[in-house]
Amino acid sequence: MSAPTTLLFTAHDAEVAAAQQRRSERRARAQLLLRYTALAAVAVLMLYPIVWLVGASFKSNAEIFGDAGFWPQHLDVSSYAKGWKTSTEFTFATYFLNSFLIAVPRIVVTVISCVLVAYAFARFEFWGKKLLFSIMVATMMLPHVILRIPQYLMFREFGWLDGYLPIIVPSAFATDTFFVFMLVQFLRGIPRDMEEAAMIDGCNPLQLLWHIIVPMLKPAIVSVVVFQFIWTMNDFMSPLIYLSTVEKYPVSLALKMSIGATEEVEWSSAIAISVVALLPSVAVFFAAQRHFIDSAASSGIKG
Amino acid sequence: MAQLSLHKIEKIYPNGFQAVHGIDLAVRDGEFMVFVGPSGCAKSTVLRMIAGLESISGGQLRIGNQVVNHLAAKQRGIAMVFQNYALYPHMKVRENLAFGLKLAGLPKAEINQRVADAAELLEMGHLLDRYPKQLSGGQAQRVAVGRAIVKRPEVFLFDEPLSNLDAKLRAAMRVRLTELHQSLRARGQPATVVYVTHDQTEAMTMGERICVLKDGRIQQVDTPTALYDRPANAFVAGFIGSPEMNLQPAQLVCAGDGLALQWAEVQLPLPDAKAAKLRLNAPCAVTLGLRPEHISVLPPQGGSALVAGTLRFTEHMGSEVFVHATIGGLPFTARVPADALGTLAGKARGDSQLFHLQPAALHVFDAATGVNLLL
């Protein structure tokens, strides 16, 4: 008679277990809902200024100050056209081109110089390495303003004023120490076995850098590119100090010009062109996002 | 292929720590030499010095007829297989294999030929177009070996290549590597191999000769059977063999016309042949060594001494059983065939049991230095 008893017990047991599972599933769903609601609320709060900016770019000047909501009464794209033309003789196409003429070479020299310096700090033993590294890290604490005057005087002597060289050339000497620091930290996290294997395979230090380290550093290099692009696009101070010809102005200065010192400010076109000015940075960020994720997870090291 | 010779090789780190103390060793042309020892015995350091990844503080290292102390890794004619494989993650298997050959400037046709040969030898043709992250542990291991083979080096170096694999795969790869070494020899390309491991089973099964290291010093270099039967000292005796040799403090005493070993309350007579080799005046303190298979619960062939012990527990290994017991409070292990288990039927922990010890298999080591006194 023991077999049926066991069976009965099992059936009851299963029922209890199923009920328990249903309860815990319900609880998990409720928790998930709560979590997403909280996250969504914070996200809306953070994103609202940008959403408002996009909405306002379609509004008329009067509506911008009359209505706190972000939805425009009618879609008016004329601000974009007016903002793009600017009050100067050049359109924003010129200013965007100027921004790229600064950003692209600057990114190239930054990546080359920072990777070389980081490689040296992370992988070679040389006299004074620790001292030099701490001096480099200390310069991160130095406010850039302090360097403005000596740098300005120096570049004036070189005859580089009213050109892009004062903005680009300093980056060729790995002065963006934050990037060097970031790359060094990333390199320290990569096991050295692959490099040792490559040394046995016949690599010299430069081949090692090019064939092995750079491919593995790719996610970190992509971050450098993205940050340097966004920071250069947003940089207002350096172009303001070094550039005097309007034709050479980058987007950041041109935006300031559209607010103008004279007469009434065309807020709607200034806002419209701000939205356009945001686009390259946003585009670069999303294009690079894939590489942030595709990081050292693909390493050939097991252990 | 070439022979490898180490002459008074030393390693002293900048902080003054001496890791390797003047090692002398000659690895013959085409020989499979295994370095074995516990963690921190400097076996990997020696291997890395041979590879050129670690500088040599003193002594002379020769590969073939050339002193290579100051040559870069790539000029030494070696290939190395790393513990974690160290495959280049951004290259396909084919590119991983070809990378070193490309750097050496070999013609494309030759590179392709060598890669194809290695792929065939290691049965990994279907893996050539995969990335390392798409490989299982065993496959990655084979690719790492393949990357060494395509280079046709003078010396192969293996740094614990199997320790990241699960037990079953490890046993399979062990057989495979041994076969590979033999098939390379049959092809007329004998490979000089230095293989580092901490696993004495790997050392015993794979090595043609084994170099046992401890604290940066060589303890003994010999064939697996010689190490097992005639260990140079108590350390080698305890390290080689599983379960390990029973090593116990004992007294050498006079018994009648001969000598005997006094172990706890037991007196084991020493066979005359062994006693003749001892140049000691009894009584004196020694270390007694007896392998578990020389202790049984059944009377063995030849003479034996009968000793009463107290049972602790047994470990069933399938065909045999390890019986753990104590004699006079001192623990020891016996290794008995499973069919002898009937003798132990009905016995529990703490029960008394008679054990047969074979005095003919006794080892005697110096109590202080551990040196084998019977060699």
Mean residue pLDDT across chain A: 86
The whole model's pTM is what? 0.82
In sequence order, what are the beta bridge partners of B20?
Answer: B11
* Residue in A197, A215, A216 closest to B82 by CB: A197
Q: What is the mean pLDDT of residues A120-142?
A: 92
Residues 6+ apart with CB under 8 A from B4: B26, B27, B50, B61, B62, B63, B155, B192, B194
Interface membership of B169 toward A (CB under 8 Å): no
* Residue in B80, B89, B103 closest to A298 by CB: B89
Residue A261 has pLDDT above 80, yes or no: no
User: Distance (Å, rounded) from C-alpha B347 to C-alpha A124?
Assistant: 65
Cross-chain residue pair B88–A196, CB shorter than 8 Å: no
Q: What is the mean pLDDT of residues A208-225?
A: 92
* Structure confidence at residue A130 as a pLDDT band (50, 70, 90): very high
Residue A10 has pLDDT above 80, yes or no: no
Residue B116 burial by CB count (10 A; 0-12/13-18/19+): exposed, middle or buried?
Answer: middle
- Residue B317: enclosing H or E segment and its boundaries? none
Task: Provide the shortest C-alpha distance from residue A197 to chain B (in Å).
Answer: 7
Cross-chain residue pair A201–B151, CB shorter than 8 Å: yes
Tens digits of per-residue pLDDT, B18-75? 999 999 999 999 999 999 999 989 999 999 999 999 999 999 999 998 999 999 999 9
Judged by phi (left if over 0) then psi (alpha if -120 to 50, else beta), residue B173 lies in alpha
- Name the residue with higher pLDDT: B96 or A301: B96
- Residue A7: enclosing H or E segment and its boundaries? helix A2-56
| Residues on A contacting B at a C-beta cutoff of 8 Å | 191, 193-194, 196-203, 207, 211-212, 215-216, 218, 297-303
| ipTM attached to this prediction | 0.85
Residue A295 has pLDDT above 80, yes or no: no
Q: What is the mean pLDDT of residues A267-277?
A: 87
Please, what are the averages of pLDDT over each run of 10 residues along chain B (375 residues)?
A: 90 93 94 94 94 93 92 92 92 95 94 93 91 92 92 92 89 90 87 93 94 95 95 94 92 85 85 84 87 88 84 90 90 89 84 89 92 89
* Structure confidence at residue A293 as a pLDDT band (50, 70, 90): low
Residue A298 has pLDDT above 50, yes or no: no
User: Distance (Å, rounded) from C-alpha B148 to C-alpha B273?
Assistant: 49
Residue A4 has pLDDT above 60, yes or no: no
pLDDT at residue A1 in the model: 40
Identify whether the C-beta of residue A103 lies closer than 8 Å to the C-beta of residue A96.
no
Query: What Å distances lie between residue B217 and A29, B5, B53, B195, B245, CA to CA?
Result: 63, 16, 20, 17, 22
* Structure confidence at residue A292 as a pLDDT band (50, 70, 90): low
